Structure 1
Amino acid sequence: MSTINEGSYASIQFSLAWRSAEATHEERFLARKANLWRDIFPPGFKDLLMGLGAGEGVRASYAPGRGLPGREASRVVELPRRAFRGRSPSGRDITPRAGRFYPLGFFEGLPGVYPQDARPGRVLRADESLLRVDMGHPFAWRTLDVTAQVLEVRDKTSDTGGRISCWMEELCDGGPGLQARCEDGCPTDFADADAMTRLDPSDDALFHETPRLVNHVDSGAAQVLREAAMRRVRPGTRVLDLMAGWRTHLDPCAGIHVTGLGMNAQELAANPLLAERVVHDLNKSPLLPFPDASFDAVVCTLSIEYLIRPLEVVAECARVLAPGGELVIGFSDRWFPTKVPALWMDLHPFERLGWVLDLLLRDGRFEGLWTFSDRNRWRPADDPHIRQTFTGDPVFVAGGRRA
C-alpha cells in the first residue's frame, strides 16, 4: 500500500469542526490532489500526514490565531454610512444591516481594500450616520478542530510547477463562519421590506403545473444530502418530506414511513419512497394538514428557498414534530431564480445557513442546533453538467431537535 511522503499526491477529505454560541458546525472540503512537497498545510499537520495510507486519518486542534490570522483591534473600523456602496446581484441597492457580511469592496475608504475585494466584512453596527465594520477573518477568535481522512495516495511521475494550495485557507475561506451570529450573540438583522419579494410573484400552482422529473443536484450531492438526513432520522420512524417531489433524500432501506407534501401530484406519484401523498401550497397556507406531534422527523431538501412565509412554516414543523423529533433543512446553489425571494439571492451561501438557523432560533422550540457543509467534491462523470465544471454541487444543511 502506498503511503504519504514528499514524492506523492494524496486525495484528502478535510473536515473542520467548530462551535458558536447557538450551534455546532462541520465544514467538509475535499483536497482532490494535495502535493505534499509543494502545498502548505496547517501548522504541524504535514508531519501528522506523513506515512499514512488510504483509509487512515489524523486530527489536530488550533487555538484562535494559529493557522489563521487572529483577532486584531485595527481590523475593526468605523466609517460614515455614505461609504457603503453595495448593490445586489439583482441590481437592488443594498441597505447595510447589523450582523450581515458584505464584500469589503462595498465599503469606500477601508485601508488596503479595492472595489474588487470580495473578502467578507461584517457590519457590527449600522445606524443613520455610522457603520462599524469588522474586517477580520470570521474564525479570528474561534478554536478549530481539523480532521483529515486519506482517500487515495499516488506516487508522482513528475513535478514541474503548478498551483500551490494552502489547505487551511481552502478549508476556512470562502464562507465558513458566516453562518454564526456576532460574538455578542445579537441576532443578525435579515429584515428588509423587499426581502420576500420575487421576480415572478404569480401563483406557484401555475409554475408547478407541469411535473419536473429531473434531478436538481448531481448524484454525489444527492448522496451527501441523504447521508446528512439519515444521521438524524432513526430507522422505523414517521417522516414528513416537506415540499417533496419525485425524489426523497432518505435511505429507502431504513424502514421509515414517509409522507410527502408537495405541489405536483404527478411528481409525488412518481416518488417510490412515499407511503402517503398530500398536495398543498405552503405559500398560500403555511398550516400543515396534520395533527400535533404526527412525525418523528421533518426533512426539507432543495426547497426552503422558495418559501415566502418561512417562519410560519418552521412554526408548523415544530407543531407536527413529536418531542425529540428532528428538523433537517438542506439546500445547494441551484434553484429557479424567478421563484426565490430577493433575500435568498442577496445572501452568501453560508449566510443562508445562518438565516435557516435564525428561523429555528426565532421559533424558540428547537435545541441542539447544527449546520453542515460539503464542498469541492468531484462532479460525477455521467452528470449532464460535467462539461461546464468538474466540481460537484455544494451541499448545505442545518437542523435542530424539537424540545
Structure 2
Amino acid sequence: MSGLGEHSLTTLELALEWQSPQARHQERYLARRVNLWRDVFPPGFKEALLGKAVGDTVEKTYQPGEAIPDHDPKLIHRVPRSRFQRRTVGGRVIEPARGRFYPRGILGDMLGVYPQDSRPGRIIELDASNMVVDLNHPLAGFPLTLRATILDLADKATETGGRLTCWLEEIADSGPGMQRRHGRPTSFDLQNGLRRLDETEDTLFYAAPRIIGHVDAQAGAFLEQTYADSLSSLPSGAKVLDLMSSVLSHIPEHLDLHVTGLGLNLEEMEANPRLADRVVHDLNAAPKLPFPDKSFDAVTCSLSIEYLTSPQAVIAECARVLRPGGMLLVGISSRWFPTKAVRMWMDLHEFERIGLVLEYFQTLPALTDLRTVSIRNWWRPEDDPHIDQTLTSDPVCVVMGTVQD
C-alpha cells in the first residue's frame, strides 16, 4: 500500500500527553483495527493521518475545549452528604472522601445522573452536611497533545456497518486525569487504608520462594523500556537499588549498572541474574534502609509498593539514599497478592493508584520533576498462561521523580 487511506485498517500506538500542576503525564494506548472510513478522531487528526506510511508519526496539540469538552461550572453540584450511596465492596464499606473519584451513580440525585451511571465524578469539597461534586471530565481544562505512530497497515474488505470507535474517548475516558490532585492533597485513607487482610509477619508469607514473574511478558517489556528511558542517562557502573526485589528486576540488561537487590526472599534474588548484591530486609518491620546517605544513582520499586504499610517513610528513605540528581522509579500494575496488599489499594481506580503514589512523592520537597507514564491495551503474548482469561496485556504505570541537586 502507498499510504493510509479512507479504506485502510491500521494499528496505531497513541500517546496522550498533558501536564497537571504536580507532574507531566503520558498515556500510551494501543488502538487496534482502526478504520479511518468510520472511526472518529479529534479535529484535523484523521486528515493528518491520511497518506502516512508504517513508522510515520502524527502529532497535534489541542487547547481546552477543542478535543475534550472544556470545564463547565454548571457541572459542579452541591448535594447533601446523606445522598452518597454507600456500597460494600469486598467486605469494605465505601465512604466519601475529598478529592476521590466515584461512579456518578453513587454520588446522589443530580440532573442527568442515573443510578447505573459509572462515569467518574469527583468530590472536591466535603463537610459533615454537604459535598461538592465535580462532574467535568478529569482532563477538562488542560491542553492535550495527541500523537499516533502507525504500526501496520492493510486494505479492509468492503463493509457497510460495524463498530464505530471514538479513539480519544477510548484513551481518555478510562482514567487519565484521575491521578491529579484537585488543589489540596487528595484525602486518601492513610490511617485505616494501610491495613491488610493478612497482618502476619511478611517474612512468613514470603518464606517460600516464588520463581515467577508478576506480569505478562509484554507488560514486563514495557516496564523495562520505561526504566531504560530514564536509566540510560546514568554513567557506566552507576549504582541502582532494586527495592522489594525478586526474580525479575526489569532493569535493562544492556545498561552497565551495579544493581543491589533488597527483598524478603534470598532464593528469589539469587535466581535474578541482574543483581550484583543481595540484601534480605523487611521494609514493613523496619522502613529504614540499611545504606548510607547518597549511596545510589537510582532506586526502582517494581510491582510491590501496594504491600508497604509505611509507604511515606520508605519513600523518604529512598530520597535519603539517592545522590543529588538521582531518580526514583515506581512501577505498578493490576496484579498483586490480595491478602498482603493494603486495603486502600484495592478500593482505588487504577489511575487513582498512580495519584496515590504521586502523593507519596509529593510529601518530599526534595523529589522534583515528577512524571507518570501509563501503557495499556496491548495484546497479551499468545503463550501467556492467562491468555484464556484475557487477550489484553497487563497495564503498566510508572511514577518517576528526581532528587534535587
Q: CA deviation at 1:96?
A: 1.3
Q: CA deviation at 1:108?
A: 2.0
Give the structure 2 partner of residue 101 of structure 1: 101
Task: Go from structure 1 to structure 2 and tell me whether the alpha carbon gap of 1:248 and 1:232 turns closer, same or farther (over 3 Å shift).
Answer: same
Q: Distance in 1 between matches of 2:318 and 2:377?
A: 32
Give the structure 2 partner of residue 230 of structure 1: 228
Matched letter for residue 141 of structure 2? W
Matched letter for residue 20 of structure 2? S
Check conservation: 1:377, 1:392, Cα contact below 8 A: yes
Check conservation: 2:86, 2:93, Cα contact below 8 A: yes
Give the counterpart of 1:199 among 197, 205, 214: 197
Give the structure 1 partner of residue 82 of structure 2: 82
Check conservation: 2:68, 2:139, Cα contact below 8 A: yes
Give the structure 1 partner of residue 43 of structure 2: 43
Matches within 5 A, 1:188-337: 188-233=186-231, 234-236=234-236, 237-337=238-338
Matched letter for residue 171 of structure 1? I
Larger mean Cα displacement after TM superposition, 202-211 or 89-98: 89-98
Q: Distance in 1 between matches of 2:291 and 2:371?
A: 26
Q: Distance in 1 between matches of 2:104 and 2:366?
A: 36
Matched letter for residue 52 of structure 2? L
Q: CA deviation at 1:86?
A: 3.0
Does residue 162 in structure 1 map to residue 162 in structure 2? Answer: yes
Check conservation: 1:318, 1:365, Cα contact below 8 A: yes
* Aligned-partner SS, 1:272: coil
Q: CA deviation at 1:191?
A: 2.8
Matches within 5 A, 1:344-383: 344-383=345-384
Check conservation: 2:57, 2:147, Cα contact below 8 A: yes
Q: CA deviation at 1:252?
A: 1.0
Check conservation: 1:198, 1:339, Cα contact below 8 A: yes
TM-score, length basis structure 1: 0.98
Q: Distance in 2 between matches of 1:222 and 1:235?
A: 24
Check conservation: 1:86, 1:106, Cα contact below 8 A: yes
Q: Percent identity?
A: 49
Task: Go from structure 1 to structure 2 and tell me whether the alpha carbon gap of 1:192 and 1:275 turns closer, same or farther (over 3 Å shift).
Answer: closer
Q: CA deviation at 1:88?
A: 5.2
Larger mean Cα displacement after TM superposition, 128-137 or 385-394: 385-394
Matched letter for residue 194 of structure 1? N
Matched letter for residue 90 of structure 1? G
Does residue 16 in structure 1 map to residue 16 in structure 2? Answer: yes
Check conservation: 1:89, 1:345, Cα contact below 8 A: no
Check conservation: 1:88, 1:346, Cα contact below 8 A: no
Give the structure 1 partner of residue 394 of structure 2: 393
1:286-321 Cα offsets, whole Å, 9 max, x none, are 010001100000000100010010000001000000
Q: Distance in 2 between matches of 1:18 and 1:355?
A: 18
* Aligned-partner SS, 1:254: coil
Does residue 62 in structure 1 map to residue 62 in structure 2? Answer: yes
Gaps of at least 5 residues in structure 2 are none
Q: CA deviation at 1:345?
A: 0.6
Q: Distance in 1 between matches of 2:86 and 2:374?
A: 27
Check conservation: 2:107, 2:121, Cα contact below 8 A: no
Q: Distance in 2 between matches of 1:286 and 1:33?
A: 47
* Aligned-partner SS, 1:339: coil
Check conservation: 2:316, 2:364, Cα contact below 8 A: yes
Over the aligned positions, Cα root-mean-square deviation in angstroms equals 1.1
Matched letter for residue 109 of structure 1? D
Check conservation: 1:2, 1:154, Cα contact below 8 A: no
* Aligned-partner SS, 2:93: coil
Matched letter for residue 188 of structure 1? T
Q: CA deviation at 1:117?
A: 1.4
1:317-348 Cα offsets, whole Å, 9 max, x none, are 00000000000001100111111111101111
Q: Distance in 1 between matches of 2:284 and 2:160?
A: 56
Check conservation: 1:9, 1:33, Cα contact below 8 A: yes
* Aligned-partner SS, 2:244: strand
Matches within 5 A, 1:123-142: 123-142=123-142
TM-score, length basis structure 2: 0.97
1:242-269 Cα offsets, whole Å, 9 max, x none, are 0000111011121100000001010000
Check conservation: 2:13, 2:29, Cα contact below 8 A: yes
Matched letter for residue 373 of structure 1? S
Matched letter for residue 200 of structure 1? D
Task: Go from structure 1 to structure 2 and tell me whether the alpha carbon gap of 1:67 and 1:336 turns closer, same or farther (over 3 Å shift).
Answer: same
* Aligned-partner SS, 1:29: strand
Larger mean Cα displacement after TM superposition, 240-249 or 108-117: 108-117
Matched letter for residue 266 of structure 1? E
* Aligned-partner SS, 2:319: helix
Check conservation: 2:213, 2:247, Cα contact below 8 A: no
Q: CA deviation at 1:162?
A: 2.0
Gaps of at least 5 residues in structure 1 are none
Q: Distance in 1 between matches of 2:113 and 2:339?
A: 33
